[in-house]
Chain A
Amino acid sequence: MEVIEKLSILADAAKYDASCASSGTQLRDSKGSSSIGSTTGMGICHSYAPDGRCISLLKILLTNLCIYDCVYCVNRHSSNVHRARFTTKEVVDLTISFYKRNYIEGLFLSSGIIQNPNYTMEQLVTVAKSLREDHGFRGYIHLKTIPDADESLIHQAGIYADRLSINIELPSTESLISLAPEKNVKSIRSSMGTLKSHIEESKEEQSSKKVSRITYVKKESKKALTKNAVRKTKRSEKLFAPAGQSTQMIVGADSSNDFKILTTSHQLYKSFGMRRVYYSAFSPIPDASKQLPLTEPPLLREHRIYQADWLMRFYGFQVSELVNTQTQPMLDLDIDPKLNWALRNRDIFPIDINRADREILLRVPGLGPRNVQRILQSRAFHRLSLEDLKRMRLSLKKIKPFISTADYHPASSLIDHENLKAKLVDPKQHQLTLF
């Protein structure tokens, strides 16, 4: 099979993984070397597909023939799709040639399980190792980690990769048992724990300067390096998976509600120091199983969950403030979770823009961390008016009901709930699922 045909099958099979991030890793570049590659703080999206998703990495599977049979997955053993398998060299060559043309930031390599977890992990590590050692590649590498694989293999993966991830896929243990029979919750969690401790240890070691000297020097050129260059490479010691670990949960494949999903995420962030939990609306796949809902992917629900996740991580919200088992197990699809919270807690508004603390300002619908920072910064100079807020490009329509400023003091009782909600709901929002 030609590489181009394999690529079409193995990219298609990889697209259900939402992550394409290339951010938050150690900064490095190829200065002074004969190789290529660098990383940036924010990552770069080199293209966008018509699904609005960023294309930052070459995201492919090594093979889509998996010996497991996870019901929701297009690559499951019992799926009747075309199968293909890359050689490790083909993946390495594709990555390098795409990178040289500035198409990508690096590679995100995953795979169906081949033979057994160890063999699969070995293959993934071989690719990353070859990129780093044979090509001196300094771009971004994200490797999928196979739970149940030996710790020594996971350790190697972390040496070469920037990020490692294990997808939890389903929010509840029961769903995992019924939909992913070969997977094992305990083993997934224990692998996540292993990653966490490796990541933390490596950071600690580096801060105490005892880190093992890991460098990406092309093997054959090692001898030729001058003393100076050696010192240089030593400074760029690589941490174990410096961009941390991430995971993904499928939304809408099982009956878990948003409360369950957000509670699970909260635990994942807390217990394993996840950098990100990705959510992927369960989407129709070629040759789907009878067991699953074959409908439009719940994109709006996915969007609301991302918003809630964001509020938990950057705005100081607790899960229980956004959803709860009894009265509100699902997020409101009409309005974003922060506005929903504000409407349920009207008595704290209006908030005085010129006096409120950071935590309180973050509760104002329409104000994000960056704008709050700017408000705090500029109110040190003078009391802020609506005009000042407008100059900061804030949407007055959104925030006005919730604030007071030097020149604006709304009646303390807000307009009644439904009315305000109706006013603030974007009429176009419902079309989100129709795009």
Chain B
Amino acid sequence: MTNACFIQLDEYATYEDWYPYARYCLHHHIVPSDVHWQNDNIDDLFCNDSNSQQLTIEQAQNFKPGNSNQIRVNRNFVILARYSCCFLHPDRFAVMYRILWRVVHEDNLLLADITDPDIHLANRWAKAVGRDRHKMKAFVRFKEIKFANEDPHYVAWFEPEHAIVKLTSDFFRDRFYGMDWSILTPYLCVHWVKGTLTFTQGCDKSQAPQEDALEDLWRTYYLNIFNPARLKVKAMCAEMPKKYWHNLPESSLIDPLIKQAERAKQAMIEKKPTDPLLPSKTKFDREKWINSK
């Protein structure tokens, strides 16, 4: 009889969901190979394995290690785990538990060894999550919904690659503290209304508003800030991958702008210089102005 166990987590579970289980297992000396993390909703053979008991959330949460038994883990581990546990890979919780185990029992400097395969993998996940978060901060576009006699509500639709909504909601709260807003995503929605942050189930795109009156102004800006003499499409696509385009109001302009760029540049180059229309006597006399001050 081993103390092997299996743990059922949601497909979009993240660090906070994993934490109570990991703490329980660590304190009960359950070696990583005996913990079966399951988070893909597929019936796994372990569910029927009589040797392995399901560890329930109640068991995990009710377990409180006494003060004298506290296990200290470097803060860097928590930072890494918060990020890499958002990476939608079925092994993320197993890998992070294995790293936790190794940090506690084998090598407390493990995290610094970036050539270690586990650390390398976790870092790669964390980096991808960081990038996804960054893109969310950049490419969420709020659309205003107006109400009579009430403050407007701003709603955005976004499709993150990983489970980053909770991890990124603080950023939006702290930036848009004085307005009411919602960000809708396929797996989880977040709302900031009258100073309270709440989460609701994911939804589909049709729930989000389709337009905002300001978008014409934004497109006008985008159109005019572009310099056709410096076309660098690759550089643009590297930073703003096409998969994000469908939620950006400005993206409909991109193809036409690229097509017309060469002609616009040549027109500027070929155009003959003209004579100034403005009379030169209105020109500024710096000396005179300085002396008059």
Contacts and interface: CB of A to CB of B under 8 A. Distances in A.
Interface of A: 3-4, 7-9, 11-12, 14-16, 29-38, 40, 44-55, 58-60, 67-69, 77-80, 94, 97-98, 100-103, 113, 116-118, 136, 148, 150, 182, 184, 281, 283-290, 294-297, 299, 374, 377-378, 380-382, 384, 388, 391-392, 435
A406 to B, nearest CB: 12
Nearest to B226: A49
A284 B142 contact: no
Contact of B224 (A11, A97, A117, A184): A11
A69 B283 CA distance: 8
Given A31-B174, A33-B178, A297-B229, A378 B115 contact: yes
A161 to B, nearest CB: 19
Contacts of A182: 283-284, 286
B227 interface: yes
B282 A67 contact: yes
B280 A101 contact: no
16 contacts: A12-B225, A31-B174, A35-B177, A45-B239, A47-B250, A50-B233, A52-B232, A80-B276, A100-B144, A102-B141, A102-B176, A148-B290, A281-B230, A283-B227, A284-B268, A380-B112
B63 interface: no
A116 B292 CA distance: 12
A435 B262 CA distance: 10
B268 A286 contact: yes
Contacts of B146: none
B225 A14 contact: yes
B220 A98 contact: no
Given A8-B224, A49-B226, A80-B276, A101 B176 contact: no
Given A33-B177, A51-B231, A116 B289 contact: yes
A52 B234 contact: yes
Contacts of B293: 118, 150
Interface residues of B, number: 71
Contacts of B45: none
A49 B225 contact: yes
Contacts of A47: 138-139, 222, 240, 248, 250
A7 B175 CA distance: 26
Give 9 nearest A-B pairs by CB, closest first.
A52-B235, A78-B276, A52-B232, A29-B174, A11-B224, A30-B177, A284-B268, A49-B226, A51-B230
A218 to B, nearest CB: 9
Contacts of B224: 7-9, 11-12, 15
Given A44-B137, A51-B230, A100-B154, A31 B177 contact: yes
Contact of A37 (B154, B175, B240, B269): B175
B216 A116 contact: no
Contacts of B221: 7, 11, 58, 60, 98
Interface string B181-222: 000000000000000000000000000000010101110111
A4 B173 CA distance: 30
Contacts of A283: 227, 229-230
Interface stretch (B4-12, B64-72, B253-261): B253-261
B175 A391 contact: no
A391 B114 CA distance: 9
Pick the most buried of A4, A7, A392: most chain B CB atoms within 10 A of its CB.
A7
A408 to B, nearest CB: 16
B280 A38 contact: no
A184 B286 contact: yes
A184 B141 CA distance: 44
B225 A15 contact: yes
B177 A36 contact: yes
Contacts of A388: 115
Contacts of A60: 221
Interface in B267-292: 268-269, 271, 273-274, 276-278, 280, 282-284, 286, 289-290
Contacts of A391: 115, 120
A150 B293 CA distance: 10
